[in-house]
Amino acid sequence: MKNFCLEVWGDFACFTRPEMKVERVSYDVITPSSARAIFEAILWKPAIRWHVRRIEVLAPIKWINVRRNEVGAVISERNVKTAMNQGKGNLGLNIEEERQQRASLFLRDVKYRIHAAFEMTDKAGDGDTSVKFSEMFERRASKGQCFNQPYLGCREFSANFKLVNPKEETAPSISECRDLGWMLYDLDYGDPKDPKPLFFRAELKNGVIEVPAFDSEEVRG
């Protein structure tokens, strides 16, 4: 599989730890699933599946504490169905009644270099080839085109990106090593009605995380 490389950066990021039930607390670095979503924002097709291989941290890991207001409820599914069937209904939320103040621990001034590749799926048609999608991705990424705005964990934290030639000399990653513990890898959609979270033991070695393959023993449910 051909390797593609993107450099992504932004002012803020939050790759939320699933074990934190109320407050938003980010992982130290971007997760493989969030990195994959950036590639999919540029090019997603049923015929291909992206796999993140390596994450390079280019900026020092910095934090910021933020306290902000959030809405603590969603519109009732029953109300939505009633409105669809009857052509009328109350689909509004009173923000003043549902407002909750929460503290969050975000990352700030992040910058990563992400390496990924795609494989063809069983949904590929007769005219679908890896060369076709490779050229399509490179063309779109080089022009800054995307189907939806890539983001860094939360949609309000938009991500800037640029295509990088992995063979060219680039800025070095940070010279830091740390054990990041168990990190969310991705979700297993083997059962679409009940997706299962997958985790792997992430280690930052001289600013680089080597991401294991989806079917490797290092990835556990």
- Gap between the Cα atoms of 109 and 139, Å rounded: 27
> What pLDDT does 5 receive?
96
Cβ neighbours, 10 Å, residue 54: 18
Tell me the pLDDT tens digit for each residue of 144-167: 999 999 999 999 999 999 999 877
φ/ψ (deg, to 5) at 79: -65, -35
pLDDT digits (tens, 9 = 90+) for 18-76: 888 778 899 999 999 999 999 999 999 999 999 999 999 999 999 999 887 777 777 77
Model confidence at 183, in pLDDT bands (50, 70, 90)?
very high
Best CA proximity match to 10, nearest among 104, 105, 109 = 109
Predicted pLDDT of residue 95: 72
Query: What domains can you pick out in the chain, each with its CATH number?
Result: 4-68+100-210 (3.30.70.2660)
Binned at pLDDT 50, 70 and 90, residue 178 comes out as very high
How many H helices and E strands in the chain? Answer: 4, 11
Q: What is the pLDDT of residue 194?
A: 87
* pLDDT tens-digit readout, 85-99: 887 777 777 777 777
- For the whole model, what pTM was predicted? 0.86
Residue 24, phi-psi category: left (phi > 0), alpha (psi -120 to 50), beta (remainder): beta
Task: Count other C-beta atoms under 10 Å from residue 5's C-beta.
Answer: 20
- Phi and psi based region of residue 206 (left: phi greater than 0; alpha: psi -120 to 50; beta: remaining): left
In this prediction, residue 160 carries a pLDDT of 97
For residue 182, how far is the Cα from the chain centroid?
Answer: 17
- Of the CA atoms within 13 Å of residue 27, those in its CB half-sphere come to 28
Distance CA 93, CA 97 (A): 8
What's the pLDDT at 86? 81
Lowest mean pLDDT among 37-41, 93-97, 174-178, 191-195: 93-97
